[in-house]
Structure 1
Amino acid sequence: MLVRRWLDAAGISDPVLRHCYTTCVREAADRDGGHLRWWGLRAVPAPVRPHVGALAAMAFTADDYSDTGPVAQRRCRFDAYTDAVLSAIAAGHATDPVLHATAHTVRTLGLPVSLCEEAFAAMREDIDFSGFTTYEELQRWSAKSTGSPMVVMASLMTDPDTARRMEPALREFGELFQFMDVLCDLGEDLRDGRLYLPLEDLNRFGVRAEDLRAGRWTAAAAELIAFETARITHRLPILSTELQRRTGVSFIGVLEKHCHLLLGEVLAAGPALLDRSPRPRFADVLDIWLPHWRNTIPGDHQEGLS
């Protein structure tokens, strides 16, 4: 991934901004197991990549503040950081490289600041997380947590006006993607003392939260997971087709295929789902992503970070 080429493609010539964006990409590229490097950066056109790197580096930092340390300290550090992000956006600049690049991205692309504020609100709720009683509560949180970033991504790959017109569908698509993540990370979240599945659904299938926390898999748990998976697989193809038709963004179809692959692994995991997150075969992942990477920028697979 030659960052210099991306910056040239994006028309970013100012030396300070080029340094800031390069810092962002390097900080973000290997986070989350390298997912941004492979799935996020390679999946979008070169002019968009510096902006994806800036927003991702900022979001990763905010997430770190919301996820680590004693709860009271998390809240203080998170609020201080997100206030700094919003101040940088309002001023149009900052001394911190990540915040300076973020401010430039938001202003250059005309992104609504409210999308950042909503994503921050979801992270803040997660600090004091105590569970969801209903599926509607999970939907509202997911719409802010992943729905808002999905609108941002569509704004980067089309334009803010198109993203605004398609915002309800984009939010629902992100919402379902977040729910898929909840199912994949069920065991990890349980070890962290968090259960994101709605309590009304547990009660509906006669699943006890204490059994899940103790790693006890039951036939009722299998039925619950199948029910939650069907919620996603029923709606996702409809949204994907509509969004691709209305926005022309093929990346959405790739995300849909990736989601179906992971959900298949969730269903096949059985009791192991309470122990570890399912991991599909890398060859199966490549079958989904490689054609899109090759179509995004020819010769992209030969690039390296620089």
Structure 2
Amino acid sequence: MRERVAVVVVTFNSAAVLPGLLESLPLGLEGLDWTLVVADNDSADDTVTLLRSRAPQAVVLEMGRNAGYAAGINAAVRSAGEFSAVLVLNPDVRLTAGCVPELLRVLRTTRAGICVPRLEDSHGELILSMRREPTLVRAYADALLGATRAGRIAALGEVVSDPERYDVAGSPDWAEGSTQLIDGTCWTACGGWDESFFLYSEETDYHLRARDLGFDIRYVPTARAVHLEGASASSPRLWSLLVANRLRLFRRRHSALGGALFWLAAVLREGSRSVLGHAIARSAVSVLVRPSLLAAPRGPEWLERV
């Protein structure tokens, strides 16, 4: 099958950031055969109207509810027709010229199942997007030293925090999921994204599953994209969801004892930051000590209970 890229975007009240993404697609995908499929999670703003006026060629799926990020990706891929690769993009991403052809080149010349570019923020600053697999040692080092300091040592840090590592190609265990090119064979082997993760940890789960099946995750510094980034670091509810899903993913892949020790590391990390006055950490602690919240589905209704 000739190369055909399914460009998949999930939107939720994204009217303010979506035009910039749409404008960047032709240059970022120049020379490739591609189709844009957007799954909208019941936006209350003008997202769908904007899409139909500015991207009339796009397939727009109205989910009818806020189904979550993974569910939106899966629905969009099912509606994409034939493809040789899937490009998953957040609506607040801007591709630079030649980004996706370069990712595709690496995808086809290596053992990679997923390729990710160098990410920068709106000020041109490097985003630390490469990650190592969560472990107990890394969880406690993060709690005691902080993610940036711990990340300078591979055994201690989940976040690859040495900026020099981003100047060369790499093979992280997983990577920040705002911009990623997934090989069609990898997608078929792994299946869809896990929809039980409403938001956060879904890309971690997917990348680790791909690696379990023998696919590499490749960081490609010669491909570049801009990510405006979301609000998880400033929203108590979203941060609590992020922390809860990290715990749930670790419990899924490890023993009950390992899960309990990871929970303790999370309490230590968020509790110490709560003492220092961080509101988002206080919210996370309140979730971590409430078994009913840790056990409940993590969707809009869950967020209302936080």
TM-score (norm 1): 0.33
Q: Which has the higher helix share?
A: 1
TM-score (norm 2): 0.33
